[in-house]
Chain A
């Protein structure tokens, strides 16, 4: 019996031939199909659909590398990692990791970090809707409850700290794209962090220091405010009480939190 006589066998062989143009394992009937000029239309459409999606999902990376370089790199990624989800907005979760080990990108060491921020933008963009913490909730909190309260990051809040390069500056400039091709720009080479939030519909972003990132990391892990404040001191040993307040204010103003809870108080 010809194995291609079943629908599933046809689809196995067809899918294989789509992504492996030079494979010698292709079943005879599919090889005959793949030899027709029209087969390239399917190959090209699948490849173009994946590359277009990556370019749409990683616009700051594409702006930095130029379109031609980006699409060539993306084609290599597509051959390794086809989409597993028809919502292509989510495609390319491992693209930053790919760039980190992609030999031709080694001279652009900032590229994986920029890709990571493009990815965090997407995650923030599609996260569920929820309320942003009313800042007066904190102001009205009794001092004895403050230390044991837990702040919950907003579903659309994303943050990252980059110790080696000014990734936030590079990313935000290229994400916005408001500059000419020949503009010369050299960022001050320093560690930077980023916070992305969605307070007013669209994703917004600000630069965030190490203390802010450490604080959010601690909150996301379920730490009390007292524990999160310790995390700030660990990340920024020189931090004063005023610094701590400033970090809190910046995070609250940016809409980084959804709610505050004091239900875990005095458990220990």
Chain B
């Protein structure tokens, strides 16, 4: 089923009507399940209407898989209910933590990639996959801090997670670009080493510069079009690994739906290139 997906869009309530009537071939939509974990009402009705016409992906931001705790059982049960109800084509979460000691911090927080963290996160992914009765993809985060005490490189860490828990990976190219700039590593080298066979989905988004530090600190703000450097990295990646479902993410400073569809079309044309060459 997922092989049919080409380019998709993060779906915002402002675009529901346009999304419902859109007939673009292969277009799919991604939502944060947190916004639909409700007992009833128009939100669930909207999402059900969308999923009758388009494939849907559930992209969680709060399971807090990297916290030193099991995923909250209530949150997990609600996510399992939503997954049963919406039958999403893709389900994903982040290599990060946010829920800790009963408090939710609305962000994707970092941690030292230690042996202990690896064991905990592999367990948490397995618990999640058992509850959802399906495999999930784990997304590489954006980095803003140099943290001491890593036992693993990020790529080796992700690779080992796929081995231990049979999860797949979601590669966010913008996160790689932002992190490479902020921490001072080579984005091309990182992407070239990323395990191709585990990539279930790709994210593309815009970033911005820190208001005080400028280009020295890039922020994964999702409030701008995908940048030229990120498009270049994406093209190189697709040439190496072949087509994968690719999402245009925009969470802030939302433009008209058609503007985002244009970005989708650009991703779709890049996805079609390897196929065209192979034909």
Residues on B with C-beta less than 8 A from A82 are 103-105
Are A86 and B67 in contact, CB atoms less than 8 angstroms apart? no
A46: Cβ under 8 A from any B Cβ: yes
Structural contact, B120 and A45, CB atoms closer than 8 A: no
Interchain CB contact under 8 A, B39 and A126 = yes
Number of residues in A with C-beta < 8 Å to the partner?
44
- Would you call B40 an interface residue if the criterion is a C-beta within 8 Å of the partner chain's C-beta atoms? yes
**A143 lies within 8 A of chain B by Cβ:** no
The contact of A15 among B105, B112, B145, B213, by CB within 8 Å, is B105
Q: Which residue of B lies closest to A15 (CB)?
A: B100
A38-B144, A41-B210, A46-B107 known; A7+B120 contact, CB < 8 A:
yes
Instruction: Report how far A174 CA is from B269 CA in the complex, Å.
Output: 46
A8 within 8 A of B: yes
A-contacting 9-mer, from B30-38, B225-233, B238-246: B30-38
CB contact list, A72-101 vs B, under 8 A: 82-89
CB proximity of B77 to chain A, nearest CB, Å:
13
Q: When the two chains form their complex, are residues B213 and A84 in contact, meaning their CB atoms are under 8 A apart?
A: no
Q: Within residues 1 to 19 of chain A, which ones have a CB less than 8 A from any CB in chain B?
A: 4-8, 10-12, 14-15, 18
Which residue on A lies nearest to B104, using beta carbons? Answer: A83
Once the chains bind, are B42 and A202 in contact (CB under 8 Å)?
A: yes
Interface size class of B (residues with CB under 8 A): 35 or more
The one of A124, A155, A201 that contacts B45, using a Cβ cutoff of 8 Å = A201
- How would you classify the secondary structure of chain A's contact residues: helix, strand, loop or mixed? helix
Chain A neighbourhood of B43, CB < 8 A: 125-126
Q: Is the Cβ of A86 less than 8 Å from the Cβ of B104?
A: yes
Q: A37 in the interface, Cβ–Cβ < 8 Å?
A: yes
Quick check: is B111 within 8 A (CB to CB) of the other chain? yes
Are B41 and A127 in contact (CB-based, < 8 A)?
Answer: yes
Which of the 9-residue segments B50-58, B146-154, B160-168, B191-199 touches chain A?
B146-154
Say whether, besides A15-B101, A87-B38, A33 and B147 are in contact (CB < 8 Å): yes
Does A129 reach chain B (CB closer than 8 Å)?
Answer: yes
A11 touching B106 by the CB < 8 A rule? no
The complex places the Cα of A67 from the Cα of B181 at a distance, in Å, of: 34
Within 8 A of A (CB), among B158-200: 182
Expressed in whole angstroms, the minimum distance between the Cβ of B146 and any Cβ of chain A is 7
B258 at interface, CB cutoff 8 A: no
Q: How far is the CB of A79 from chain B (nearest CB, A)?
A: 12
Residues on A with beta carbons closer than 8 Å to the beta carbon of B126 = none
Instruction: Digitize A47-60: 1 where CB-to-B-CB distance is under 8 Å, 0 elsewhere.
Output: 00110010000000
Q: Report B175 CB to chain A, min CB distance, Å.
A: 13
**Would you call A7 and B103 a contact (CB within 8 A)?**
no
Q: Do B39 and A201 touch across chains, with their CB atoms under 8 A apart?
A: no
Any A CB within 8 A of the CB of B117: yes
CB pair B97–A11 under 8 Å, yes or no, is: yes
- Within 8 Å CB of A124, what residues of B? 41
Closest Cβ of chain B: how far from A37's Cβ, in Å? 6
- Docked complex Cα distance between A155 and B104 (Å): 27
B92 CB to nearest A CB, Å? 15
A119 in the interface, Cβ–Cβ < 8 Å? no
B-side contacts of A128, CB under 8 Å: 39-41
B5 / chain A contacts, CB cutoff of 8 Å: none
Inter-chain contacts of A38 with B (CB < 8 A): 143-145, 182, 217
| Cα–Cα, bound, A202→B45 (Å) | 11
Q: Say if the beta carbon of B80 comes within 8 Å of chain A.
A: no
Establish whether residues A125 and B104, one from each chain, have CB atoms under 8 Å apart when the complex forms.
no
Instruction: Establish whether residues B217 and A156, one from each chain, have CB atoms under 8 Å apart when the complex forms.
Output: no
Whether a CB of chain A sits under 8 angstroms from the CB of B68 is yes
Given contacts A7-B114, A15-B101, A127-B41, contact A42 B149 (CB under 8 A): no
* Contact, CB under 8 Å: B68 / A11: yes
Most A-side CB within 10 Å, residue of B39, B66, B111: B39
Name the distance in Å between B109's Cβ and chain A's nearest Cβ: 6
Residues from 3 to 60 in B contacting A, C-beta threshold 8 Å: 34-35, 37-45
Residues of B within 8 Å of A29, CB to CB, are: 148
In the complex, A13 Cα to B217 Cα: how many Å?
24
Contact check, B106 vs A49: say whether CB atoms are below 8 A apart.
yes
Q: Does A198 contact B (CB under 8 A)?
A: yes
Chain B, residues 82-103, CB within 8 Å of chain A (1/0): the string is 0000000000000001111111
Let me know if A86 and B34 touch, CB within 8 A: yes
B116 interface contact, C-beta 8 A: yes
Q: What are 16 A-B contacts with C-beta separation under 8 Å?
A: A10-B112, A14-B109, A15-B100, A15-B101, A37-B212, A38-B217, A41-B217, A46-B105, A46-B107, A86-B98, A125-B42, A128-B41, A129-B44, A130-B40, A198-B42, A202-B42
Q: A36-B144, A156-B41 are in contact. List 7 more A-B contacts (CB 8 A).
A: A8-B68, A15-B100, A41-B210, A41-B217, A45-B107, A86-B61, A129-B39
